């Protein structure tokens, strides 16, 4: 693995460092910080991964960490170089993070906590003047979506949604193809989060690779909190891994916007069956009524006329897939099978393997810097999303995935819930930009990212 420290040193603002920053040289931008002082709120599995990547950079100093689990604090502290300054530690209660936000030695925060805390922590951070990197999803309700937008607009502080799938190598290659008009005028998309998470939702810590039949207070890690969303909500509770990349391709909030959504839910048997299989019919959790349907399907219409099918499928046995499909007037790409068909270039009416296409249109960012991303997590895309956050925060400018994206993508959760409750009735997306989507220029993920 090529040193990421060396990468940062070589990525100066007069050269390669411009590649993640929109409008870096615009008038009025404050001087770029040479060292970004970062606090981490939440150092569970996801937060610890971010911590490792931040500690690998010469232009970042982690000055504070916060978690209410002492075991996670201990793990985080062990990652620091023994000769480096000891970070300030917070976590005596659920609101101790607010004292972290009072530190002058914190310029920016990375929030990787359970979902119900995302919005309130991000709002508090923006009010405190801290540049925010927020894990997905950003919000649980429409009110929270508006809270994020209003906190940004009142404070002038930016928020970046840390949606790493937007930086996946094949996704960025397909985005490159979209921008070069390979598919022609875009018409239809499919995407989603299709991931068997039963072993995550039930995790007693006793199995060698996770799993078990416990959740809530008797469980560990995400099973302590994530499973309650399946008990209480019949909604697509995790839409951004799929919708985020598609929204960028469709210029959502930048000349286009999400207009309406209809959602349906299948019956929910997967989690109950899992408990019975591994814990028996007499286990107390076998009596839990899970509200969430096993497969939730949402159909979204955009103002410019494209349609997007979004699927949430996490409670049944299945291989992993985000189910991407990009379809336009000239052709189509599907991630499952990695297949493509481009009219007048592919054999008539026959799928092609997309591998050579993805190589031909490999995103300049990956071609130049992919080696530096090795070992960063999730196939390297964690490096790129965090790098975009750090560089945007150092420059004090709007990130490529901003608060309006965070609000509109996360709004799928409450809107799908309402649609399902009303037999699939259409729900209108709020315009979180208040009309500015008509004037906002698309972020150029090709030109502005290398």
Q: Give tens-digit pLDDT for 238-279.
A: 999 999 999 999 999 999 999 999 999 999 999 999 999 999
Least confident of 26-30, 305-309, 353-357: 26-30
CB 177 within 8 A of CB 296: no
pLDDT classification of 125: cutoffs 50, 70, 90 = very high
Q: Taking residues 181-195, what's their average pLDDT?
A: 98
Give the model confidence (pLDDT) of 400-411 as tens digits.
Answer: 999 999 999 999
pLDDT of residue 262: 99
Q: Which DSSP string do the residues of 228-244 spell out, in sequence order?
A: HHHHH--S----HHHHH
pLDDT classification of 384: cutoffs 50, 70, 90 = very high
Domain boundaries, the chain: 36-164, 166-364+403-438
> What's the whole-model pTM score?
0.93
- Give just the sign of the alpha carbon dihedral 107, 113, 119, 121: negative
As beta bridge partners, residue 333 has 326, 340
Q: Taking residues 428-432, what's their average pLDDT?
A: 98
Does the pLDDT of residue 441 top 80, yes or no? Answer: yes
pLDDT classification of 76: cutoffs 50, 70, 90 = very high
CB 114 within 8 A of CB 215: no
pLDDT of residue 268: 98
Q: What is the DSSP letter of 311?
A: E
Least confident of 166-170, 201-205, 311-315, 371-375: 371-375
Does the pLDDT of residue 174 top 80, yes or no? Answer: yes
Q: How far apart are CA 80 and CA 171, in angstroms?
A: 33
Q: How far apart are CA 279 and CA 285, in angstroms?
A: 8
Give the model confidence (pLDDT) of 333-342 as tens digits.
Answer: 999 999 999 9
Give the model confidence (pLDDT) of 211-222 as tens digits.
Answer: 899 999 999 999
Does the pLDDT of residue 8 top 70, yes or no? Answer: no
Buried-exposed string 329-345: b where 16+ CB fall within 10 A, e elsewhere: ebbbbbbeeebbbbeee
Sheet of strand 186-194, all strands in order from the earlier edge strand to the far edge: 352-353, 339-342, 331-334, 325-328, 186-194, 307-313, 295-302, 258-265, 427-428
The fourth-level CATH superfamily of domain 166-364+403-438 is Dihydrodipicolinate Reductase; domain 2 (3.30.360.10)
Q: Taking residues 31-35, what's their average pLDDT?
A: 90
Give the model confidence (pLDDT) of 385-401 as tens digits.
Answer: 999 999 999 999 999 99
Q: 3-state DSSP call for residue 339?
A: strand
Least confident of 23-27, 267-271, 326-330, 426-430: 23-27
Does the pLDDT of residue 17 top 70, yes or no? Answer: no
Q: Taking residues 171-200, what's their average pLDDT?
A: 97
CB 202 within 8 A of CB 211: yes
pLDDT of residue 114: 98
Least confident of 20-24, 95-99, 289-293: 20-24
**Residues 373, 101, 141: CA angle, nearest 5 degrees:** 80
Q: Indicate the average pLDDT of the chain.
A: 92
pLDDT of residue 19: 38
At 136, phi and psi to the nearest 5?
Answer: -85, 155
**Residues 233, 234, 238: CA angle, nearest 5 degrees:** 80
The fourth-level CATH superfamily of domain 36-164 is NAD(P)-binding Rossmann-like Domain (3.40.50.720)
Task: Of 344, 385, 109, 128, give the one whose Cα is nearest residue 248.
Answer: 385
């Amino acid at each position: 693995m090529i040193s990421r420290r060396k990468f940062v040193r070589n990525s100066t603002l007069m050269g390669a460092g411009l590649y993640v920053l929109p409008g870096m040289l615009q008038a009025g931008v404050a001087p770029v910080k040479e060292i970004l002082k970062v606090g981490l709120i939440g150092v569970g599995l996801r937060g610890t991964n971010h911590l490792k990547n931040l500690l690998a950079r010469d232009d970042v100093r982690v000055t504070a960490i916060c978690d209410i689990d002492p075991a996670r604090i201990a793990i985080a502290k062990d990652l620091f170089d023994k000769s480096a300054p000891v970070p300030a530690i917070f976590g005596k209660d659920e609101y101790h993070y607010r004292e972290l936000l009072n530190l002058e030695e914190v310029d920016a925060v990375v929030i990787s906590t359970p979902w119900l805390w995302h919005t309130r922590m991000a709002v508090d951070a923006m009010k405190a003047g801290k540049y925010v990197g927020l894990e997905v999803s950003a919000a649980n309700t429409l009110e929270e979506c508006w809270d994020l937008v209003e906190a940004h607009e009142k404070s002038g502080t930016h928020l970046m949604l840390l949606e790493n799938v937007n930086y996946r190598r094949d996704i960025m290659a397909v985005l490159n193809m979209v921008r070069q008009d390979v598919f022609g005028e875009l018409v239809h998309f499919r995407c989603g989060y299709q991931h068997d998470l039963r072993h995550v939702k039930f995790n007693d810590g006793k199995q060698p690779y996770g799993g078990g039949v416990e959740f809530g207070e008797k469980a560990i890690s995400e099973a302590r909190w994530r499973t309650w969303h399946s008990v209480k909500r019949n909604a697509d509770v995790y839409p951004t891994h799929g919708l985020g990349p598609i929204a960028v391709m469709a210029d959502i909030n930048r000349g286009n916007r999400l207009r309406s959504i209809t959602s349906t839910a299948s019956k929910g048997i997967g989690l109950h069956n899992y408990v019975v299989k591994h814990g028996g019919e007499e286990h107390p959790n076998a009596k839990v009524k899970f509200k969430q349907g096993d497969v939730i399907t949402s159909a979204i219409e955009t103002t410019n006329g494209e349609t997007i099918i979004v699927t949430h499928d996490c409670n049944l046995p299945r291989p992993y897939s985000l189910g991407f499909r990009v379809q336009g007037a000239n052709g189509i790409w599907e991630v499952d099978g990695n297949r493509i068909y481009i009219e007048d270039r592919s054999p008539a009416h026959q799928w092609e393997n997309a591998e050579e296409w993805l190589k031909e249109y490999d995103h300049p960012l990956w071609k130049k810097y992919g080696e530096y991303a090795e070992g960063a997590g999730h196939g390297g895309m964690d490096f790129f999303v965090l790098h975009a956050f750090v560089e945007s925060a150092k420059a004090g400018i709007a990130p490529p995935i901003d608060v309006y994206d965070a609000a509109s993508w996360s709004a799928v959760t409450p809107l799908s819930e309402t649609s399902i409750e009303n037999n699939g009735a259409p729900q209108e997306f709020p315009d979180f930009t208040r009309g500015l989507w008509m004037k906002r220029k698309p972020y150029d993920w090709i030109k502005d990212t290398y």
